[in-house]
A and B are shown apart, each in its own frame.
Chain A
Amino acid sequence: MSTSGHREIDHTADLGFEAWADSLPSLFAEVVLALGDVCYDRAVVRPTDQRRLEVCGANPEERLVRWLQEVYLILESELWLTATATDVVVDDGTIEGILHGESFDRSRHTLHTEIKAITYHGLEIVQTDGSWRVTVIVDV
C-alpha cells in the first residue's frame, strides 16, 4: 500500500493542497501530482515524454517552491502537462528528478486554472514518525 497522497484544502481566496509521503524524495514527487490536479485533469495525461528537472535552494522549503515553480513554468510556457514524477534525488542544496507527461491536446485534455504563484504561506516540511508532510498555498 502506498503511503503517499495529497488532497485539496480550503482557503478563502486561494487554493491549497496538503501532500504526504514516506520519504522526502517521494514528497517532492507527490507535490508535482498535487499541483497537476489543481491545474488540469491529470488522470488522462499519458506519461509518454520525459523532462529532466533540477533546482537548487537554500533550504528544503525554498527548494520545494522552486521545484513547483519550474514544473508550473513548463506547463504555462509550453503547455506540457506532467502526469508523474520519478527518480527524485534530494541532495544538499539541490533536487533533481524526471517528469513524465505529454503536450496539451485539446481533444483529450481539460485545463482548470492558471496560478499566479506558489507561496511561502505557512509552508513547512514536517517529518513525523517516518512520514513527511507539507501544506502548500497557491495564489490563483
Chain B
Amino acid sequence: MHASRSRNRRPPGRPSVRLRQIDEYCWEIPPTGGMRVPGRIFANERLMRDIEGDKSLEQVANVAHLPGIVEASLAMPDIHWGYGFPIGGVAATDPAAGGVISPGGVGYDINCGVRILRTELRQEDIEGRVPDLMDALFSAVPTGLGSANAIEPLSVAEMHELLVAGAEYIVRDLGMGTEDDLRHTEENGRLAGADPDQCSDRAIERGRRQLGTLGSGNHFLEIGVVDRIFEAGKAAALGVDAGTVCVLIHCGSRGLGYQVCDDYLSVMNRAVIKYGIDLPDRQLCCAPIESDEGRAYLGAMACAANYAWANRQTITHLARECLMEAFHIGPRDLGMRLIYDVCHNVAKFEEHEIDGRLRTVCVHRKGATRAFPPGDPRIPESLRAIGQPVLVPGDMGRYSYVLTGAPGALQRTFGSTCHGAGRLMSRAQAKRESRGRDLFAEMAARGVTVRAAGKRTVAEEMPYAYKDVADVVDVMAGAGVSDVVFRLKPVGVIKG
C-alpha cells in the first residue's frame, strides 16, 4: 500500500491543479467546479515533474467537464499538451446519458497509428546492407511535404468505396496485402459507420493522391531488430526472438483526416452554442453523440480512420515489394507478417463495465492506444491467449517496445495504454540544440541510418528531444495495464 498524499502544486503564473497520489503509479485530480468526474494520471514521480511543466494537467481537468463523461478523465504517462484534450488522454462518454463526441478528443490526424511487421530476416542478413535498404524504401514510399502518387490516384467513386471499406479495399480490390493483414488490424482495418457523404469534397480531393505516403513530423518507417525479450512465450507466439528484423510504420490519414477535423471543428463550435454546452476551453467543442452534428462527425471520422488503415496497408505493400526485391526472395521466404496495427487517435464505441454494469460508451483515445487483455473476444483468435499487442515507438535512436494488454487495462483505463515517448523539448528548442551538428553522422554513429525529405524534421526528431520511452512503458506495466513483451533497436529510419 502506498500512502495517500495531498499537495497543492502552484508553479508560478499557472492556476493550481490539486493532485492526490493514490498509488505508486496513479495521481488523481479531485473534481472541483464543473468537473463531472475526477482526473486520473498514470505516471511516476520523475514523469510527473515533466508533466507539470506544461498545461496538460489543466487539460485533464477540463476534459472532466464534458457532458456524459463516465468514471474519470484519464491520462497516460506520455501525456503532453494538446489541442483542447491533452495528447495521451482517454475519455469515455455515455450516449445514453447525453454523452458528447469531440473532434479535439480524437485529434487532427484521425487514426494516426502504428503497425509492426515481423520478417524471417535476421540481424546478420541485413548487416552492411541497411543504407541500401533505406535508399530503396525511401524511393518507394513518398515522404514529406506534398508527398503523393505512391500509387495511381483514386477517382472520387473509388474513394467512396475505400472510405467505407478501409484496408479491405487495398487488400481485396487492389490486391496489396493478405487476409492475414486484415485479421491483425484493429477493427480488421474497417471501422463501422463510415459515411463518405459527411466528408467535404475538399477532404476527399486531398485524399485521392496521398495513399501510400508517410507525411512528415513524427511519422516514420523504420527497420528495427529485436534486442531484448521480456516474455519469451509471448514473443514466440508473435513470431519473434532476439535478432528478428521487423518493420515499423507510423502514420495516419494524411490531408483527408486533417480536413475532416478542420471542417468539424467549425461545426462543433456552432453546436456548442446550439446545445448550450458549457465548456472551460472552446477547443473541447463537441456535440451530443445523439445529434445530427455528432452523427455527421462520427460518419466522417470513420471514413478518415478507414483511409488511415488503407494508407498503412499500402505502405506495407510498398515495403514488402521493396524488401523482396532487395533480397531476391518471395513472400514466403520474407515472411513479413503483420503482428498488429493499432490506432492512437480515434473515438470508438465499446462495451465497458461501469459501476458494476456493462455500458456502451464512446471511448476517445487521443495519443493513447487500445490494448485489451488476454481472453477478450474483441481481439483476433490467434492473439486471444496472449492479449492484444501494441507497438510503443520510442525516439528514432533508442528503442521501441511491444506490449500486450493486461487485465488492469479494463479495470483502470477503458482498455487503453500509452502510445509513445512524448516530447521533452519543443521543436524550436530541438532545432537550436542541433545547430552546427551533423545529425545524420551522429545517428549513423549510434547505428541508425536516417533518410529524410526535410533535414529540419530530423533536427526536431532527434533522440534528445524525447523522453525515455522505457519510463513510460514501466508505468503501464507497474499499474497492471500492460505487459512488456519485447524491445527493438532501430537500425534504419525514413522520415518526412
A and B bind: yes
Inter-chain contacts of B412 with A (CB < 8 A): none
Taken together as a complex, chains A and B put the C-alpha atoms of A11 and B262 apart, in Å, by: 20
**What's the least CB distance linking B321 to chain A, in Å?**
24
A140 within 8 A of B: yes
Q: Are the C-beta atoms of B108 and A111 separated by less than 8 Å? A: no
Whether B262 contacts A69 by the Cβ 8 Å rule is yes
Q: Which residues of chain B are near A108, meaning CB under 8 Å?
A: none
CB-defined interface of A100-128 with B at 8 Å, one 1/0 digit per residue?
00001000001111101101110000000
Chain A residues whose CB sits within 8 angstroms of the CB of B261 once the complex forms:
117
Contact-residue bracket for chain A: 20 to 34
- Shortest A3–chain B CB gap in Å is 24
Determine whether the beta carbon of A15 is less than 8 Å from that of B145: no
A13 to B454 alpha-carbon distance, docked (Å): 18
Of A19-27, A48-56, A74-82, A86-94, the stretch lying at the interface with chain B is A74-82
* Residues of chain B lying within 8 A (CB to CB) of residue A14: 427
Are the C-beta atoms of B206 and A12 separated by less than 8 Å? Answer: no
**Which of B79-87, B159-167, B170-178 participates in binding chain A?**
B79-87
CA A110 – CA B145 in complex, angstroms?
A: 10
Contacts A112-B456, A114-B217, A140-B217 given; indicate if A76 touches B262 (C-beta within 8 A): no
What is the CA–CA distance of A105 and B99 in the complex, to the nearest angstrom?
50
**How far does the alpha carbon of A93 sit from the alpha carbon of B413 in the complex, in Å?**
46
Chain B's interface: helix, strand, loop or mixed, by majority?
Answer: mixed
Query: Are A113 and B109 also in contact (CB < 8 A) when A10-B429, A12-B80 are?
Result: no
Contacts of A76 in B (CB 8 A): 145-146, 206, 255
Q: B123 at interface (Cβ–Cβ under 8 A)?
A: no
Q: Closest Cβ of chain A: how far from B136's Cβ, in Å?
A: 19
Separation in Å of the B113 CB from the closest CB of chain A?
Answer: 15
CA distance A130 to B129 in the complex (A): 61
Give every chain A residue within 8 A of B145 (Cβ-Cβ).
39-40, 75-76, 111-114
Contact residues, A1-42 vs B (CB, 8 A): 8-15, 39-40
Which residue on chain B has the smallest CB distance to residue A65?
Answer: B262
Chain B contacts for A114, CB-based, 8 A: 144-147, 215-217, 496
What range describes how many residues of B lie at the interface?
35 or more
Which of B146, B202, B453 lies in contact with A75, CB distance below 8 A? B146
Q: Inter-chain contact count A-B, CB under 8 Å? A: 86
Instruction: Report which of B87, B423, B426, B496 forms a contact with A113, defined as CB distance below 8 A.
Output: B496
- Of the candidates B217, B428, B453, B457, which one forms a contact with A10 in the assembled complex, judged by CB atoms under 8 Å apart? B428
B440 within 8 A of A: no
Q: Is B349 part of the binding interface, using a Cβ–Cβ cutoff of 8 Å?
A: no
Q: Let me know if B144 and A111 touch, CB within 8 A.
A: yes
The reply on B54 being an interface residue by CB < 8 A is yes
> What chain A residues lie within 8 Å of B455 (beta carbons)?
110
Contact A120 B283, CB 8 Å, known A13-B80, A13-B82: yes
Q: Residues of B contacting A13 with CB < 8 Å?
A: 80-82, 87, 423, 426-427
**Are B83 and A121 touching (Cβ within 8 A)?**
yes
Complexed CA–CA distance, A77 and B496 (Å): 16
Query: Which residues of the other chain, B, contact A112 by a CB distance below 8 angstroms?
Result: 145, 454, 456-457
Q: What string of 1s and 0s marks CB contacts (under 8 Å) between B107-118 and chain A? A: 011000000000
Complex interface: chain B residues within 8 A of A121 (CB): 83, 283
The docked-state distance in angstroms from the alpha carbon of A104 to that of B147 is: 12
Residues of A within 8 A of B265 (CB): 120
Residues of A within 8 Å of B456, CB to CB, are: 112-113
Bound-state CA distance A77–B208 (Å) is: 11
- Across the A-B interface, the 10 shortest Cβ-Cβ residue pairs: A114-B216, A116-B108, A114-B145, A10-B426, A112-B456, A111-B145, A79-B146, A116-B258, A10-B428, A112-B454
With A113-B216, A119-B83 given, can you name 14 additional A-B contacts, CB distance below 8 Å?
A: A9-B428, A11-B428, A12-B54, A13-B81, A13-B423, A76-B255, A110-B454, A113-B145, A113-B454, A113-B456, A114-B146, A114-B217, A116-B109, A116-B258
Could you list 9 examples of A-B contacts with CB < 8 Å? Answer: A8-B428, A13-B80, A13-B423, A39-B145, A75-B146, A76-B146, A113-B496, A116-B217, A120-B265
Residues of A that sit less than 8 Å from B by CB: 8-15, 39-40, 69, 73, 75-77, 79, 104, 110-114, 116-117, 119-121, 139-140
